[in-house]
Amino acid sequence: MFWLWLTLGIVVLTTANAEHPFWIQEIEELPDLSYSAVSRNTENVYRLPENVVPLNYDIYIDLYFAERQDRPFSYDGLEFITIQAREENVTNVILHSNVDQINSVSLLSENEQLFPLDTDEPFTLVPQYHFLRLNLQQALDLGSNYTLIINYTSTMNEGPMKRGLWRGWYIDDEGVERIYAGTHFQPYNARQAFPCWDEPLFKAVFKIHLSKPSSYSGTFSNTGVESTDILPNNRTQDNFLETPIMSSYLVTFLVSETFQVIASNTSLTPPVRIIGRSNTAGLGDHALDLTVKMTEHFNEYFQIPYHTLHPNLLNDHIASPDWASAATENWGMVSYRELYMIIDPRETIMSVEHYAATLVSHELAHKWFGNLITCFWWSNTWINEGFASYFGYMSAHQMFPKYDLHEHFNTRYIHNSLSFDSGQSTVPLNHDVNTPAQVTGHFGTISYSKGAAFLKMIEDMITYETFRKACQYFLLDNPYAATDQYDLYNAFARAIDEDGTLSEYSNFNFTDYYRIWVNEAGYPLLTVEVDYENGGMTLTQERFFLSPSTSSTGQIYPIPITYATESGPNFSNLKPSQMMTTQRLVIPKEAADEWVIFNLQQHGHYRVNYDRKTWNLISQALLDDPESIHYLNRAQIVNDVFALMRAQKLTYDVGFDILKFLSKEINYHVWNPAISGYTWLRNRLRYVSESQATFDSYILDYMSQVINVLGYDPDSNESVTTTLTRQEIMHFACNLGHEGCRQNSRNKFIEMRDNDAWVDPRIRRHVYIAGVRHGGQQDFEFLLNRFRNSNFANDQLEMLRGLGATRDPQLLTRYVELTLENAVRSQDKATSFNYALLGNPENANTVLQFVKNRINDIREAYVQDAPPNPVHTVLSNLASYLDEAGLVEYEEWLRSTQSGTPQFNSAISAINSARNNINWGRDNADMILSAVRGSASTVTLSSFLLTAILLFAFVF
């Protein structure tokens, strides 16, 4: 979401309201890497030829754990693949392989005779492209079936970060550490477990056979066990039923000693089961409720019930202690990071519970969008992920309205997309990718957030029922097939034509609308100028760039126009009144001195700027009667104003004058982008301490109303959104030095430490942080011991956040060294590293010494060659928290010792960006303070308060 380094700035992890650090995205979302300027013409060598296709796989994998002395944690494989030539004169068969060793390869013809391979070199390995090429002595017969037999050996990856077939760990009921094996193949890692055609286009039937020690009885896969064979040496082999026709990345299995069904519902076919380690028994009921209700919803919504997709499919959901992403949609057996599945209202922070509902809905939506139909190649990742993201919020809201997910869609997806998609080098939804790094990069904000936002715009245009019909057509027309943007367009066009839901828009071409939004990057800025003397509103558009130095491209976007006025304040009619398809449009309006708001509830993927008088009228309305403007549009105004100020489309004087209504605001959706915007500015004022302290004092003054209304303690019957508001407000206020927040949190921590008092998980985040930040070694040891003995992954992550807030250099060193240990799981190591940077400003120097002293250990423990590039991330993030002296020391160390390492260039680039941010803050501090002073006409700060905040700025 926040990874376009040079455009959006190197300061990452600075949105104080972010639920998780940016490289740990909740739904299979990885960092958007910079796309190299290549086309398929130059890099399609990474792609497989389509002249041979697999029809089915019969795969035997023998898993060995510590019992094999010579090769522990390894596996032997033997597979039989039925293949077919689709072209004449095929003399090479090319598939993917990324296993340790190919022992033998043979090919049988239909009459089971050996097919002649080249006697000198029967097969060739091309490691750069992960290719296994069979060299044939003669061409395959077109349309005939052949059996490819491959014998191979390989090793389990240590931890989930490199994906493929890996081993993880957990502690059982008896306190014994157990090792288990899991798989994570999306997007191109099935080839690590077995040679295969590892692209989504190549769909086939898979039949899996797993042998393992007999004590490993907790074994699960996409389908049920057909039979079990007793083998010599105390081993057993589970033979699983065949799968539907599907892509290789959807194959999965888990082999453990004590994983079991911890919750189930047998009223559906197949039964819904939650599976986890044995000591989470009884903690899966919340996840079960989510999965059952969302399965029922999608059965009805798509009119293609889950049980009809294939008779052998399970509906299992695995709570895995180790998982590289938040979850992955393997057909029949979805795997989740455990913290989202094991939910206890007495132990789970509300933001985790809130997100879990969207995550389960997202993954279940994939059963249809992603599994039943699949993108033909990862250039169309958005077809899989955009729909799953859309349904993850919109469908989950229908089943669980208490979470208000339809409204949180804006901050989760629309705001993220608008932020990311404002860069000069951003890419369109449909974007050509070829290399593994490019494929990984496309699993990011564009595919997830912009894809979902684009679909929401279409739904508003064509109506909910027509959108639903289009989804059904898309699925019914392409079952078990790989699809592209044209298949999806055909489904939409058919439904729209039948229902006539766009007929009211004259001269509007849906084909152009779809083509531009799918295949062009960026989005528009709509500028509104109201003629208050003669009436009428003139709209103009241009592509929006966050960088003020970027020139306009002349790109014209089809924009769905919605608006409300003071005399017609209808914010609920989200169907566009017209479609803007030109650079300029005039809308009639009677002359009147009244506000006008465009982009109702911010459902359109664009920003809005107004003439000065209109902004003044909006600003006054926000102060006099804020409820006259819908809260999602108040949130839009905040989100747009911060972006327009950064882009120099709006002066800071005007922007802060508009934002002064925040002093009366208590709504979550409004404060969420406000905190993000304020945090961006605070980080640039970090090394102008007096200026930052003064700036903080004004922010805290604006926050006094919302703090007073929320209070420090949750009510038993308060709404979920109210709880989330308190979590973000108090976390931000404590960080800014709000004395009441700090003292209340510290007192609660002491009661928990000394009297075993229970602290409501809805407020634990800032309680943990304040308790350690303003405490000493006793508090650190207490929370560390609590962390080591907790059975809840979500609470453990919050405790790591709290431990990272210590101000003691020795304790902080212990904390960052903890990230090198097994106690902090692989997927949490980079997250925990950055908690140390977020904890206090002075922490960065201690972290720098840790990096200099332990860089090789960091590379190993954090798994530097994992797809998310965690070591690149942490070294870049470190730069953004160092002052000039620290940057000099960091750069000297990098240049003298790290010049040949993979992270060198990105770290040096981060240092340069950090210096730019420091210089920007120094150059603009006076202007920012002048603007905020001018807007804060009611702010009267005592010298005591200002002094207290200033002192706090030096310790936090």
Residues 6+ apart with CB under 8 A from 579: 461, 505, 508, 513, 558, 559, 560, 561
In whole angstroms, how far apart are CA 721 and each of 270, 666, 672, 727, 794?
A: 34, 11, 11, 10, 19
Residue with tokens 């800032």: 766
17 — pLDDT class (breaks 50, 70, 90): very low
**pLDDT value at position 13?**
32
Q: What would the 3-class secondary structure string for 807-820 be?
A: CCHHHHHHHHHHCC
781 — pLDDT class (breaks 50, 70, 90): very high
**Greatest extent of the chain over all pairs of C-alpha atoms, in Å:** 93
Q: Tens of pLDDT along 586-624? A: 999 999 999 999 999 999 999 999 999 999 999 999 999
Q: Hey, is 404 helix, strand or coil?
A: coil
465 — pLDDT class (breaks 50, 70, 90): very high
Determine contact, residues 697/946, Cβ cutoff 8 Å.
Answer: yes
Q: Is 215 exposed, middle or buried (0-12, 13-18, 19+ CB in 10 A)?
A: middle
Q: Hey, is 676 helix, strand or coil?
A: helix
Q: Which CATH superfamily is domain 5-39+377-519 in?
A: Neutral Protease Domain 2 (1.10.390.10)
Half-sphere exposure of 780 (CA within 13 A, CB side): 19
Determine contact, residues 838/735, Cβ cutoff 8 Å.
Answer: no
DSSP letters, 413-440, are IIHHHHHHTTSTT---SS----SHHHHH
Nearest Cα to Cα of residue 184 among 718, 868, 755, 794: 868
Q: Tens of pLDDT along 660-717? A: 999 999 999 999 999 999 999 999 999 998 999 999 999 999 999 999 999 999 999 9
Strands 253-256, 177-184: pairing is antiparallel
- Cis peptide upstream of residue 232 (ω within 30 degrees of 0): no
Strands 145-155, 131-135: pairing is unpaired
Number of Cβ within 10 Å of residue 935's Cβ equals: 24
**What is the domain class of 48-363 according to CATH?**
mainly beta
Where exactly does CATH 1.25.50.20 map onto the chain?
685-955
Q: What is the DSSP letter of 526?
A: E
Half-sphere exposure of 931 (CA within 13 A, CB side): 17
Q: What would the 3-class secondary structure string for 681-718 be?
A: HHHHCCCCHHHHHHHHHHHHHHHHHHHHHHCCCCCCCC
Q: Tens of pLDDT along 861-917? A: 999 999 989 999 999 999 999 999 999 999 999 999 999 999 999 999 999 999 999
Strand ranges across the sheet with 164-171: 157-158, 164-171, 177-184, 253-256, 218-221
d(CA 471, CA 488): 8
- Rounded to 10°, the helix 739-755/764-773 angle is 90
Q: Using alpha carbons only, what angle is made at residue 55 by residues 52 and 61, rounded to the nearest 5 degrees?
A: 110
The stretch 519-533 carries a mean pLDDT of 97
Q: Tens of pLDDT along 384-403? A: 999 999 999 999 999 999 99
Nearest Cα to Cα of residue 531 among 589, 492, 571: 589
Q: Tens of pLDDT along 477-510? A: 999 999 999 999 999 999 999 999 999 999 899 9
Where exactly does CATH 2.60.40.1910 map onto the chain?
524-611
In this structure, the chain runs to a length of 956
Q: Hey, is 255 helix, strand or coil?
A: strand
Where exactly does CATH 2.60.40.1730 map onto the chain?
48-363
Q: Is 60 exceeded by the pLDDT of residue 34?
A: no
Residue with tokens 């994570």: 184
Q: For 815-851, give one letter per residue: b (16+ CB within 10 A) or e.
A: bbebbbeeebbbbbbbbbbbbbbbbbbebbbbbbebb
The stretch 27-45 carries a mean pLDDT of 41
Residues 6+ apart with CB under 8 A from 928: 652, 681, 685, 691, 695
**pLDDT value at position 173?**
87
**pLDDT value at position 45?**
86
d(CA 515, CA 520): 8
Predicted TM-score (pTM) of this structure: 0.93
Strand ranges across the sheet with 52-64: 101-108, 145-155, 74-85, 52-64, 205-213, 235-240, 225-231
Nearest Cα to Cα of residue 879 among 908, 838, 857, 920: 908
Q: Is 80 exceeded by the pLDDT of residue 227?
A: yes
Nearest Cα to Cα of residue 512 among 472, 479, 556: 556
In whole angstroms, how far apart are CA 372 and each of 332, 387, 486, 932?
A: 11, 13, 17, 54
Determine contact, residues 605/453, Cβ cutoff 8 Å.
Answer: yes
Write out the two tokens for 528.
């509104």
Element (H, E) at 165: strand 164-171
Paired residues of 85 in beta bridges = 52, 142
What is the CATH code of the structural domain delimited by 685-955?
Answer: 1.25.50.20
Q: Tens of pLDDT along 720-764? A: 999 999 999 999 999 999 999 999 999 999 999 999 999 999 999
43 — pLDDT class (breaks 50, 70, 90): low
What is the CATH code of the structural domain delimited by 524-611?
Answer: 2.60.40.1910
No. of helices (H) and no. of strands (E), the chain: 30, 30
d(CA 799, CA 787): 6
**pLDDT value at position 937?**
55
More confident residue, 20 or 659: 659
Where exactly does CATH 1.10.390.10 map onto the chain?
5-39+377-519
Residue with tokens 């769905």: 560
- Cis peptide upstream of residue 127 (ω within 30 degrees of 0): no
Q: What is the DSSP letter of 36?
A: P
Paired residues of 59 in beta bridges = 79, 208
Mean pLDDT score of the chain, rounded to an integer? 92
d(CA 692, CA 679): 11
Determine contact, residues 205/55, Cβ cutoff 8 Å.
Answer: yes
Q: Hey, is 334 helix, strand or coil?
A: strand
Residues 6+ apart with CB under 8 A from 756: none
Q: Is 70 exceeded by the pLDDT of residue 16?
A: no
d(CA 49, CA 708): 64
935 — pLDDT class (breaks 50, 70, 90): confident
Residues 6+ apart with CB under 8 A from 950: 689, 690, 693
Nearest Cα to Cα of residue 660 among 415, 927, 938: 938
d(CA 523, CA 111): 59
Q: What's the distance, Cα to Cα, between the start and end of the chain in Å?
A: 26
Residue with tokens 């770290």: 907
